[in-house]
Amino acid sequence: MPRNCIRETSPKENKIIVWKMDLPNKERRSPENGPSSARPCCSSLKKFLVALSFAYFAKALSGSYMKSTITQLERRFDIPSYLIGVIDGSFEIGNLLVIAFVSYFGAKLHRPKIIAIGCLLMSLGTFLIALPHFIIGRYKFETSIRSSVNSTNSLSPCRVRSSVLAAGPSASSVPSSGCEHESRLSMWIYVFLGNILRGIGETPVQPLGISYIDDHALEENAAFYIGCVQTISVVGPVFGYLLGSVCAKIYVDIGFVNMESISITPGDARWVGAWWLGYLIAGFITLLSAMPFWFLPKSLPLPERQLDKYSPERTSFIKDSPLLEHKYQADEPANFLEMAKNFLPTLRSLLGNQVYFLYLCVTIIQFNSLIGMVTYKPKYIEQHYGQSASKANFLMGVINIPAVALGMFSGGVIMKKFKLSIMGAAKFALGTSLLGYFLSLFFFAMGCENASVAGITRSYNGTESLCKVDSSLLASCNADCQCPETNWDPVCGENGLTYFSPCLAGCRTSHGSGMNTVFEQCSCVAVGNHTASAGQCNNRDSCHRVFPYFLALSVITSFIISLGGTPGYMLLIRCIRPQLKSLALGFHTLTTRTLAGIPAPIYFGAIIDTTCLKWGQKKCGGRGACRIYNTTAYRIAYLGLTMGLRTASFFLCILGLVVLRRHVRRQERNTLANGGTGAAAGELQALRKEENNSCNSDQWPRTTDYDPERETRL
500 shares its domain with 582: no
558 shares its domain with 420: yes
624 shares its domain with 545: yes
Reduced to 3 states (helix: H, G, I; strand: E, B; else coil), residue 30 is strand
Per-residue pLDDT, 185: 52
Half-sphere exposure of 372 (CA within 13 A, CB side): 28
Contacts of 340-347 with CB under 8 Å at 24 or more apart are 343/104, 346/104, 346/580, 346/583, 347/583, 347/587
Q: Kindly list the distances between the CA atom of residue 370 and the CA atoms of 205, 225, 639, in Å, as whole numbers in the listed order.
A: 21, 24, 11
Specify the DSSP class assigned to residue 452: -
| Other CB atoms within 10 A of residue 676 CB | 10
Per-residue pLDDT, 172: 40
Per-residue pLDDT, 331: 44
What whole-number distance in Å separates Cα of residue 422 and Cα of residue 602?
35
- Domain assignment present for residue 355? The answer is yes
Report the CATH number that the domain containing residue 401 is assigned in CATH.
1.20.1250.20
560 shares its domain with 649: yes
- Domain assignment present for residue 175? The answer is no
Name which of 72, 65, 64, 66 is nearest 625 in CA terms: 72
Pairing mode of beta strands 491-493, 532-534: antiparallel
- Domain assignment present for residue 183? The answer is no
Please state the domain count of the chain. 2
414 shares its domain with 468: no
Residue pLDDT, tens place only, 120-167: 999 999 999 999 999 888 888 877 665 554 554 556 677 665 444 333
Reduced to 3 states (helix: H, G, I; strand: E, B; else coil), residue 426 is helix
What whole-number distance in Å separates Cα of residue 138 and Cα of residue 257?
9
What whole-number distance in Å separates Cα of residue 506 and Cα of residue 92?
49
Per-residue pLDDT, 428: 92
Contacts of 101-104 with CB under 8 Å at 24 or more apart are 102/203, 102/204, 102/207, 102/208, 102/586, 103/204, 103/207, 103/208, 103/582, 103/583, 103/585, 103/586, 103/587, 103/589, 103/590, 104/339, 104/343, 104/346, 104/582, 104/583, 104/586
413 shares its domain with 548: yes
344 shares its domain with 385: yes
484 shares its domain with 425: no
Residues in CB range of 710: below 8 A, 6 or more apart: 667, 670
- Domain assignment present for residue 399? The answer is yes
> Are 182 and 544 in contact, with CB atoms under 8 Å apart?
no
Per-residue pLDDT, 435: 95
- Domain assignment present for residue 31? The answer is no
What whole-number distance in Å separates Cα of residue 366 and Cα of residue 370?
6
Per-residue pLDDT, 135: 87
> Are 522 and 506 in contact, with CB atoms under 8 Å apart?
yes
What whole-number distance in Å separates Cα of residue 127 and Cα of residue 522?
48
Domain finish residue from 539, 554, 583 = 539
Domain finish residue from 522, 539, 556 = 539
Domain containing 502: what range?
452-539
- Domain assignment present for residue 283? The answer is no
Cα 32 to chain centroid distance, Å, stands at: 37
Q: At residue 19, what are phi and psi to the nearest 5 degrees?
A: -85, 125
649 shares its domain with 532: no
What does pLDDT average to in each consecutive run of 10 residues of the chain (714 residues)? 42 38 39 43 74 89 91 88 90 81 71 87 94 87 63 60 41 44 66 93 83 70 74 82 93 82 79 92 93 79 52 40 39 58 82 89 94 91 87 88 85 86 88 94 89 84 67 78 80 87 85 78 82 82 86 94 86 81 80 87 93 80 82 92 94 91 81 57 43 39 38 37
493 shares its domain with 609: no
> Are 296 and 270 in contact, with CB atoms under 8 Å apart?
no
- Domain assignment present for residue 110? The answer is no
Domain finish residue from 510, 539, 568 = 539
Specify the DSSP class assigned to residue 576: S
- Domain assignment present for residue 7? The answer is no
What whole-number distance in Å separates Cα of residue 682 and Cα of residue 250?
70
357 shares its domain with 491: no
Specify the DSSP class assigned to residue 445: G
565 shares its domain with 515: no
Per-residue pLDDT, 159: 64
Half-sphere exposure of 17 (CA within 13 A, CB side): 22
